[in-house]
Structure 1
Amino acid sequence: MGWVSSATLGEVRSTIEQLGGDAEAMVCRAGIPAAALDGDEVPVRDTAVAAMLEAAARELHCPDFGMRVALRQDLGHLGPLAVALRNAPTAADALGYTAKYWIKGAAGFTLTQVPDPLKSNITIGLRFGYPEFLQAAPQSIDRGLLFVHRAMTYLFHGGYGLRTVELPHPPLASRARYEELFGAQVNFDRPGAVLRVPADLPHRTFGESDQLSRDLALFYLDSQVSTVGHPITGRVSVIVRHSLGTGPTTMAGVAGLLAMSPRTLQRQLADEGTTFSDVLDTARRDRAQTLLSQSDLTMAQVAASIGLHSSATLSRYAQRWWRTTPSAVRRRTNDG
């Protein structure tokens, strides 16, 4: 929970006005500046966005309001993120970009791979939402999960093998409406919001990709991520990424560069919904993936380049990041 970019309000104005409502009045009642409706740079509270979506659905008598917003968000107009997605080496990379640059940055949620909730060994789950101990509002879940589904459909130019959709709340609209939009069976009152997909989906490739275009898009996105409403996270991320492999990367060291105490840095990161460990872990994962896919460094050299002590430590991290080995990540890239 915390501050997010007003980009998360994309198409909210047009959806409300199409239904005959007053968009500016609705967002203002939720404590959101009216200027957030038309710009991407206004910091807003994710809890305020969630409350606004619920209120709009109720006041406009539109139970599928969140999904209507998602339908109006043209995936081809995502700018640099669309470029990165189109040129992602694998579906796993594309999902990672979506989670890092859209879902977390603009919606406050996470997208994670989980075991199939129905226990199939040929299927996995893509879980959308807050951490398991936090409950997300239904309209926010419907909007976000439909966005992820549409992003996957966009990337694969059609179907991607969606088996079923699992939602943690009762149907807000008719079951037929949900299944029309997702193109698959939808089950309600489940433990979490999950898209059940083929187990091999993360390893699928999209064909030929332009690495230079992808790298430029990711460089731009990295320069923007976590800056709106998250100034400390963005500054820490930049420092950590530049210091990886050059010496110990510690909270105390980064705090010193920012002219603050470690305790103050810890508190400010917590206020922005993250920790120093999370920022460091993300930087290590991204650098490791780049080195494994784009260099011939040995595993020990890759480990040293991201501040790990040995190739064995890198292997343990890789299991947590990608549920596979560093060698498999490199082999998968080369095979692609």
Structure 2
Amino acid sequence: MRDIDMPVRASVLRGLSALVTGAGGRGPELLAAYGFDEAKIVEGNSFVSLRVVERLLEEAADRFALPDLGLKMAAQQDLHMLGPLAIAMENSRTIGEAVGCAGRYLFVYSPAVSLEEIEDPLGSPGAIGLRYASTTMNASPQTIDYGIGIVHRVLKLINGGAPYGLRSVQLPHARLAPEKAYRDYFGAEVRFDCPSVVLRVTSQLCSMPVSGGNDLLRDIAIGYLDTHFGHKGVPISDLVAAVLSEHLGSGGPDLSKVARLLSLHPRSLQRSLAEEGTTFTGVVDRVRRSQALDLITTTDLSFSQIAARLGMHEQSSLTRAVRRWFDTSPSGLRRAGQEPKGRSALIDDKAETHFTSDAL
């Protein structure tokens, strides 16, 4: 995918609402203005546009006088925001192995970010660099602070909460907050206007053991990641599906609206979907099928209410669609869902409709 298409998991926005509210703003209203639902953010399974997240963080920092917003958000996250990747990292034998695992699987969190070991930018003996990068052009300063702040926090956590040999931090933007805020967070010197985002650490870091690791848990987590995410990247169709799952009932599926939420031109979105062998209509149908199965078999909503939630103008449209998807009527589908064996079969069938965003 092109830079502007990059998704990131919705969990990246956890805690933003509380920080904005604590600064005198209205966190839920700010999120809603950008098309985000706080409940979906807490669940963290869906993807959102990184471009939109960048704009949101920059506006929040500016409007509510939070120059260290990125650092504050990083400080309140825990390792398990990374899902199975967290299990693999915290059960690695060494910190070097954990870093390598992050470099290999960080795309599961977002294909827009990466972490790799490099030579020390200052050429100091006994030091190496851990370079954090975003594939988006001109990544926003707040998201840079947030991203490298998360890397620092994770390294500290897998080292038992103790310092891990950080020598200094290099950031590509000008200082956003008082120097003390950076030093208090990282516990080391922070330099600004550098070529890239780097944590300069002792070369011994890679051989430092991760305390309390479990080989079996690590192997299970890596096996899961390999099985479910063996291909590197998150299709734009999955990002569209994640957006549609939250907006189907609000006026029906609208290509222009979805494109706007993803910061894309409608024609660019259509081209991206075509490159993946699908269409906007095809993604809408996939999302509707999944949601219809859930709503019909797990709720007591009337079929007209379900049709409305799926963005269908008439109940007859739902009836025709259910007949096409499941070769039965909505009432027949509801009866089948109430039978143990029938429900099990429907769940198996439903698994085919899950998006990548539901895999963690």
TM-score, length basis structure 2: 0.59
Contact kept in structure 2, 1:30 and 1:51, CA below 8 Å? no
What is the alpha-carbon distance in structure 1 between the residues aligned to residue 181 and residue 103 of structure 2? Answer: 26
Which residue is equivalent to 2:155? Answer: 152
Which residue is equivalent to 2:192? Answer: 188
Structure 1 residue 223 displacement after superposition: 5.2
Structure 2 counterparts to residues 134-145 of structure 1, below 5 A: 134-145=137-148
- Secondary structure of the equivalent of 1:200? helix
- Secondary structure of the equivalent of 2:43? coil
What is the alpha-carbon distance in structure 2 between the residues aligned to residue 224 and residue 143 of structure 1? Answer: 27
- Kindly indicate whether structure 1 or structure 2 has the higher relative contact order, using CA contacts under 8 Å at least 6 residues apart: 2
Structure 2 counterparts to residues 291-302 of structure 1, below 5 A: none
Indicate the percent of aligned positions where both proteins have the same amino acid.
34
Structure 2 residue corresponding to 1:267, chosen from 269, 275, 279? 275
What is the alpha-carbon distance in structure 1 between the residues aligned to residue 179 and residue 111 of structure 2? Answer: 25
Structure 1 residue corresponding to 2:117, chosen from 113, 117, 124? 113
Cα RMSD over matched residues?
A: 3.1
Deviations 1:255-300, CA, capped at 9 Å, x for gaps: xxxxxxxxx999339xxxxxxxxxxxxxxxxxxxxxxxxxxxxxxx
- 2:70 corresponds to 1:63: no
Structure 2 unaligned spans of 5+: 240-271, 278-360
Deviations 1:31-72, CA, capped at 9 Å, x for gaps: 445554322122210111111111110111110011111111
- 2:21 corresponds to 1:17: yes
Structure 1 residue 115 displacement after superposition: 1.6
What is the alpha-carbon distance in structure 2 between the residues aligned to residue 130 and residue 32 of structure 1? Answer: 22
* CA gap 1:208/1:22 in 2 versus in 1, 3 angstroms: closer
What is the alpha-carbon distance in structure 2 between the residues aligned to residue 232 and residue 109 of structure 1? Answer: 18
* CA gap 1:86/1:41 in 2 versus in 1, 3 angstroms: closer
- Secondary structure of the equivalent of 2:151? helix
Residue identity opposite 2:157 in structure 1: Y
Contact kept in structure 1, 2:11 and 2:81, CA below 8 Å? no
What is the alpha-carbon distance in structure 2 between the residues aligned to residue 230 and residue 212 of structure 1? Answer: 34
Contact kept in structure 2, 1:3 and 1:44, CA below 8 Å? yes
What is the alpha-carbon distance in structure 2 between the residues aligned to residue 201 and residue 207 of structure 1? Answer: 13
* CA gap 1:146/1:112 in 2 versus in 1, 3 angstroms: same
Which residue is equivalent to 2:126? Answer: 122
- Secondary structure of the equivalent of 1:129? strand
Structure 2 counterparts to residues 1-336 of structure 1, below 5 A: 1=3, 2-75=6-79, 79-102=83-106, 105-106=109-110, 108-131=112-135, 134-157=137-160, 158-206=162-210, 209-222=213-226, 225=229, 267-268=275-276
Structure 1 residue 116 displacement after superposition: 1.2
* CA gap 1:221/1:230 in 2 versus in 1, 3 angstroms: farther
What is the alpha-carbon distance in structure 1 between the residues aligned to residue 187 and residue 205 of structure 2? Answer: 17
* CA gap 1:217/1:231 in 2 versus in 1, 3 angstroms: farther
Residue identity opposite 2:34 in structure 1: A
Contact kept in structure 1, 2:82 and 2:109, CA below 8 Å? no
Deviations 1:288-313, CA, capped at 9 Å, x for gaps: xxxxxxxxxxxxxxxxxxxxxxxxxx
* CA gap 1:219/1:192 in 2 versus in 1, 3 angstroms: same
TM-score, length basis structure 1: 0.63
What is the alpha-carbon distance in structure 2 between the residues aligned to residue 139 and residue 107 of structure 1? Answer: 19
What is the alpha-carbon distance in structure 1 between the residues aligned to residue 82 and residue 276 of structure 2? Answer: 30
Which residue is equivalent to 1:286? Answer: none
Contact kept in structure 2, 1:129 and 1:136, CA below 8 Å? no
* CA gap 1:71/1:42 in 2 versus in 1, 3 angstroms: same
- Secondary structure of the equivalent of 1:163? strand
Structure 1 unaligned spans of 5+: 234-263, 270-336
Structure 1 residue 73 displacement after superposition: 0.8
* CA gap 1:18/1:228 in 2 versus in 1, 3 angstroms: farther
Residue identity opposite 1:268 in structure 2: E
**Is the radius of gyration larger for structure 1 or structure 2?**
2
* CA gap 1:82/1:110 in 2 versus in 1, 3 angstroms: closer
